[in-house]
Structure 1
């Protein structure tokens, strides 16, 4: 299973979904699905924009964990 740490990264920086939308240009739906960890697929460009925003490697945003 893949875990998304967007909520944690946003919390550490006191950001809201609207802040992430404004800074990255991503849709509310995309950000919300990642925030709630309900996304079934993600565009690579979206991941790239989030990594740039949070100045982090992909491994800080996504993590593979065993069930």
Structure 2
């Protein structure tokens, strides 16, 4: 499973949704939607590029692979 860490990176950078929206050219609502994701689904290359530029990070800082553990019942 790919885990999305935008909320963690934003907290580390001490940046708000509104500030990141201004830096990326996105709306605060779009940032909020991206931020609350826990699992990574799909992201446009230009969005990822804008986030990395604004947060001064690499795509690998925003995405983490974790092996899924099977549910034992």
> Does the TM-score normalized on the shorter chain lie above 0.5?
yes
User: How big is the alpha-carbon RMSD for the aligned residues of Structure 1 and Structure 2?
Assistant: 1.7
Unaligned runs of 5+ in 1: none
Number of residue pairs aligned between Structure 1 and Structure 2: 67
Unaligned runs of 5+ in 2: 69-73
| TM-score normalised per structure 1 | 0.82
Ranges of 4+ aligned residues in structure 1 off by more than 4 Å:
none
Q: Which protein has the larger Cα radius of gyration, Structure 1 or Structure 2? A: 2
| TM-score normalised per structure 2 | 0.76
